[in-house]
A = this chain, B = another copy of it.
Amino acid sequence: MAGANAFYAQSGGVTAVINATACAVIETARKHGGSIGKVLAGRNGIIGALTEELIDTSLEPAGIIAGLRHTPGGAFGSCRYKLGAIEDNQREYRRLIEVFAAHDIRYFFYNGGGDSQDTANKVTQLGSRLGYPMVCIGIPKTVDNDLPFTDSCPGFGSVAKYVAVSTREAALDVQSMCSTSTKVFILEVMGRHAGWIAAASALAQEKRGDPPHLIVFPEVPFDEAALLRKVKKTVEARGYCVIVVSEGARYADGVFLADAGSKDAFGHTQLGGVAPALANIVKAGLGYKYHWAVADYLQRSARHVASANDAEQAYAMGRAAVEFALAGKNAVMPTVVRTSDEPYRWKIGEAKLSRVANVERKMPKSFLSADGFGITAKARRYLAPLIAGEDYPPYRNGLPCYVTLKNELVAKKLEPFPL
């Protein structure tokens, strides 16, 4: 006889490898079919649990589930929807327990960042209080790499690789043309308030002086004069300058570069991106011809150039989550524990959800170079293994074969729940 069902949901911004985690959860649960019944996935994340829109993954054939391992995006839909404090949102938390009880769900796997780990932790507490004990396991995911306790977050390594590869490639282009064309190239990358992704661009360097020549971090208050000096020096020495800027870059007073002068005289919001804002600063200050790129979603969905280590860890976290649940653990999150930089070795660890929740891990100061525009050898040692290895998806007709699921919902048993 099959055990109770499991609920799995994807939360927050999706990544190139979050579906590899989904794949692992489903494949591992299927292997333990005696202990776990069906894996029901939330349609659009936790919203699916509230609205009782539960995707029956048992209807998907093994080949399709296997294909999730190399398919970017969130196969069941994700959402930006944060359940609030349990005291103020009893209605929502109770509804979750009702839906879980109605569908015999006793396992809750929540795949997301800090907010999601917080939610998972509250669900297990409330379940106990209401006499419906749940096993709640968080599974780390975030391109921003800002979760505590885990050495790295699945999703980050692949964005890091995309950014390092793209920086190396675009720099070759700019270098080729700089005698008569573009002198300054600016690439804007993600990372919110943490500079992990921007830092990874430095892996494109093979020797001192290689591009990127400047990285603008959110952790370092933006110093326009210092930036212009270094850009000028770089162009004079090398003929061109490549800058990688984090979307979260800001002035000492906290104003984001992207927001500076964000209204025109008519009150219209100006368009834009940090990269064009920085390009304007360079143009105004030094007059160099520039180009800029904003990778936006391209970087976090670029499964075609995923890091093999990242894809492997994404899978390993999903498998560990199910194994943790079956081993009787609760309110924990599997983590990556690094045991060696070179050769890179890691093992599975665990962290209590109560401690992970809502803690943002910034880059340590020791990772930033003295002038604030680069990274240290220590940062390089940390970052290098995370982008290592290629893990290409299969291709057909020149394009990656990404799978599409049926995503059929199980029949509803409860009254509708207005969000």
Contact = CB atoms under 8 A, between A and B. Distances in A.
A398 B161 contact: yes
A169 interface: yes
A204 interface: yes
Given A81-B180, A180-B47, A301 B172 contact: yes
Interface stretch (A32-40, A248-256, A286-294): A286-294
A392 interface: yes
Most buried by B among A169, A172, A265, A292: A169
A315 interface: no
Contacts of A330: none
B297 A399 contact: no
Interface string A150-178: 00000000000100111011101111110
Interface stretch (A96-104, A130-138, A266-274): A266-274
A180 B79 contact: yes
Given A170-B298, A172-B73, A176-B74, A276 B272 contact: yes
Contact of A168 (B78, B292, B390, B402): B402
B398 A164 contact: yes
Interface residues of A, number: 75
A233 interface: no
Contacts of A300: 173
Contact of A80 (B78, B181, B264): B181
A303 interface: yes
B392 A169 contact: no
Contacts of A384: 397-398
Grouping DSSP codes into helix (H, G, I), strand (E, B) and loop, the A interface class, with mixed when no group exceeds half, is: mixed
A291 B296 contact: yes
A173 B265 contact: no
A72 B172 contact: yes
A85 interface: no
A180 B80 contact: yes
A279 to B, nearest CB: 7
Contacts of A78: 176-177
A388 interface: yes
A271 B280 contact: yes
Interface of A: 10, 13-14, 16, 44, 47, 71-75, 77-81, 161, 164-166, 168-170, 172-177, 179-181, 185, 187, 203-204, 264-266, 270-273, 275-277, 279-280, 291-298, 300-305, 307, 384, 387-390, 392, 395, 397-400, 402
8 A-B pairs closest in CB distance:
A73-B172, A265-B265, A74-B176, A271-B276, A293-B296, A387-B398, A169-B301, A173-B301
